[in-house]
Amino acid sequence: MGLRNVFTEKQAEVIRQFNTNKDWKLMINTGAVRAGKTFVDNFLFFMAVHHAAEIAKEQHKPFVQFILAGASSKTIQSNILDELQTTFNLTFQFDKHGSFQIKFPALPPVKIVMAYTKSIAGLSSIRGMTSYGAYINEASLANELVFDEIQKRCSGKDARIICDTNPDVPTHFLKRIIDRAEETNDKTVVSNHFTIFDNEENLDPVYLQHLLNTTPTGMLYDRDILGQWTSGEGIVYSDFDINKNVITRAKFDELYPKPVQDHVLKYVAGVDFGFEHKGCIVVIAIDKRKDKYYMIEEITHKHWQKERWIFEAQKLVNKYGDIPFYCDYARPEYLAAFQDAGLKAFKAFKSRLYGVEKVGSLIKQVKFQVIKEAIDYFEKELFAYNWDEKTGEPEKKDGNDDVMDTVRYAIVTYIHLQEKRNAINRYEQSYADKAQIMDNLGLI
Ligand SMILES: Nc1ncnc2c1ncn2[C@@H]1O[C@H](COP(=O)(O)OP(=O)(O)OP(=O)(O)O)[C@@H](O)[C@H]1O
Ligand SMILES: [Mg+2]
Per-residue pLDDT tens digits for 337-390: 999 999 999 999 999 999 999 999 999 999 999 999 999 999 999 999 999 988
C-alpha of residue 437 to centroid of ligand 2, in Å: 35
For the CA atoms of 413, 414, 416, 418, the dihedral, rounded to the nearest 10 degrees, stands at 160
The residue that leads in pLDDT, 2 or 297, is 297
C-alpha of residue 51 to centroid of ligand 1, in Å: 24
User: Which pTM was predicted?
Assistant: 0.87
In ligand 1, the atom with minimum distance to the C-alpha of 39 is: 18
Least distant ligand from the CA of 203: 1
In ligand 1, the atom with minimum distance to the C-alpha of 35 is: 21
pLDDT at 443: 47
- Domains, the chain, ordered by start: 3-203 (3.40.50.300), 242-426 (3.30.420.280)
Averaged pLDDT for residues 19-28: 91
Contact 281, 297 (CB under 8 A): yes
C-alpha of residue 138 to centroid of ligand 1, in Å: 13
C-alpha of residue 267 to centroid of ligand 1, in Å: 39
Averaged pLDDT for residues 395-400: 79
- Supply the residue whose CA is at minimum distance from atom 22 of ligand 1: 38
pLDDT at 229: 96
- Supply the residue whose CA is at minimum distance from atom 23 of ligand 1: 34
Q: Of the given ranges (59-68, 245-254, 329-338), which has the lowest mean pLDDT?
A: 329-338
Residues with C-beta less than 6 Å from any ligand 1 atom:
6-8, 11, 33-39, 164, 166, 199, 202
Averaged pLDDT for residues 283-302: 96
pLDDT at 438: 54
- Supply the residue whose CA is at minimum distance from atom 2 of ligand 1: 7
From 9, 34, 40, give the residue whose CB has the most ligand 1 atoms within 8 Å, as the site to mutate.
Answer: 34
C-alpha of residue 75 to centroid of ligand 2, in Å: 10
Q: pLDDT tens for residues 402-439?
A: 999 999 999 999 999 998 888 777 766 666 666 665 55
Averaged pLDDT for residues 113-142: 92
From 202, 204, 223, 228, give the residue whose CB has the most ligand 1 atoms within 8 Å, as the site to mutate.
Answer: 202
Q: pLDDT tens for residues 83-101?
A: 888 888 878 889 988 899 9
On the question of pLDDT at 33 being above 60, the answer is yes
On the question of pLDDT at 3 being above 80, the answer is no
pLDDT at 437: 55
pLDDT grade, residue 274 (50/70/90)?
confident
**Rounded distance between C-alpha atoms, residue 343 and residue 269, angstroms:** 11
Q: Of the given ranges (3-7, 74-78, 133-137, 231-235), which has the lowest mean pLDDT?
A: 3-7
**Protein residues placing their CB within 5 Å of the ion ligand 2:** 38
- Cβ atoms within 10 Å of 16's Cβ, excluding its own: 12
**Rounded distance between C-alpha atoms, residue 177 and residue 172, angstroms:** 9
User: For residue 390, how far is the Cα from the chain centroid?
Assistant: 19
In ligand 1, the atom with minimum distance to the C-alpha of 138 is: 27
**Rounded distance between C-alpha atoms, residue 405 and residue 153, angstroms:** 44
The residue that leads in pLDDT, 98 or 65, is 65
pLDDT at 439: 58
C-alpha of residue 79 to centroid of ligand 1, in Å: 10
Averaged pLDDT for residues 234-251: 96
**Rounded distance between C-alpha atoms, residue 367 and residue 290, angstroms:** 8
C-alpha dist (Å) from residue 328 to 253, 280, 342, 345, 356: 30, 10, 17, 10, 16
**Rounded distance between C-alpha atoms, residue 322 and residue 344, angstroms:** 7
C-alpha of residue 29 to centroid of ligand 2, in Å: 10
- When the pLDDT of each residue in the chain is averaged and rounded to a whole number, the result is 92
- Cβ atoms within 10 Å of 319's Cβ, excluding its own: 12
With pLDDT > 70 as the criterion, what percentage of the chain qualifies? 95
From 38, 79, 201, give the residue whose CB has the most ligand 1 atoms within 8 Å, as the site to mutate.
Answer: 38
Q: pLDDT tens for residues 167-226?
A: 999 999 999 999 999 999 999 999 999 999 999 999 999 999 999 999 999 999 999 999
- Supply the residue whose CA is at minimum distance from atom 31 of ligand 1: 39
**Rounded distance between C-alpha atoms, residue 324 and residue 345, angstroms:** 6
C-alpha of residue 224 to centroid of ligand 1, in Å: 14
- Supply the residue whose CA is at minimum distance from atom 14 of ligand 1: 34
Question: What is the full DSSP assignment across 373-438?
Answer: GG-SSHHHHHTT-BB-TTTSSB---TTTSHHHHHHHHHHHHHHHHHHHHHHHHHHHHHHHHHHHHH
pLDDT at 164: 94
C-alpha of residue 200 to centroid of ligand 1, in Å: 10
Q: Of the given ranges (31-35, 88-92, 332-336), which has the lowest mean pLDDT?
A: 88-92
**Rounded distance between C-alpha atoms, residue 438 and residue 444, angstroms:** 6
From 39, 135, 203, 226, give the residue whose CB has the most ligand 1 atoms within 8 Å, as the site to mutate.
Answer: 39
